[in-house]
Amino acid sequence: MLAAVLLAVLAGSSQDIEQSALEKDPSGWIDMLATSDVPLEGWTREPLPPGGKLNEQSQWILDKATGHLICQGDRGHEWLRLDQILADFVLHVEWRFTTVPGKKGYNSGIYVRNASDAKMWHQAQCGDASGGYLFGESMFSYSVKPFNLRKEMARQRVKPAGQWNTYEVTCKGRNVSLWVNGAVTNVWHGCEAPRGYVGLEAEGWRIEFRNVKVKLL
């Protein structure tokens, strides 16, 4: 009886896993970290909050040996913006925090359809076995207002610090969805920003990114 129950549980958990868009169809993706021989050409550092001051030294390093983008997390709050306006697309990003013994509060994010200065922003939250939801400040009836879909998150799927996570944010028309480690966790049907910039957040923690890829829809 116990064996039968265990098999049923395992079967249910395997059915709960949905392939990422990249796994379903690996064709047509653009690797945003390998588009030039010049490291991070086409990306720009911007301060957070908007209007702040950037540290003169960058905290972003592209490791050409591994292809990983490393944010040292030691030079202030900012974001790294891709200098290309996108409308409808899927953004695939894999990320992990570097663990710090005894520390808590790991925090970062992945941006879509932002304003160039991030006065309007839409973020997929990254944390330590936390996050996996959309929030930000977006356009609502011709004014920018906050929104937060944390309470609408289907299920917590983010892995602990030190482990790789995979996010896919799909923007199509007014719809924005977030896929996390095997399943969609958030769907938002009210995005009034038809296009904008994607980016990665630095918020005081060392974090690595890999397979930063975009597929236009």
Element (H, E) at 32: none
pTM: 0.91
pLDDT of residue 108: 98
pLDDT of residue 207: 98
Measured from the Cβ of residue 98, the count of other Cβ atoms closer than 10 Å reads 15
- Among 185, 210, 200, which residue's Cα sits nearest to residue 94? 210
Residue 71 lies in a domain: yes
Alpha carbon 7 to chain centroid distance? Answer: 34
Residues of the chain with pLDDT under 50: 1-14
Question: How many structural domains is the chain composed of?
Answer: 1
Residue 12 lies in a domain: no
pLDDT of residue 104: 92
Which structural domain range is residue 206 located in? 19-216
Contact 137, 153 (CB under 8 A): no
Q: Which residues pair with 82 in a beta bridge?
A: 43
Contact 9, 1 (CB under 8 A): no
Contact 144, 137 (CB under 8 A): yes
Residue 13 lies in a domain: no
pLDDT of residue 34: 83
> Would you state the structure tokens that stand for residue 7, as one six-digit string?
């098999």
Rg (CA), the chain: 18
Q: CATH number for the domain including 177?
A: 2.60.120.560
Contact 89, 217 (CB under 8 A): yes
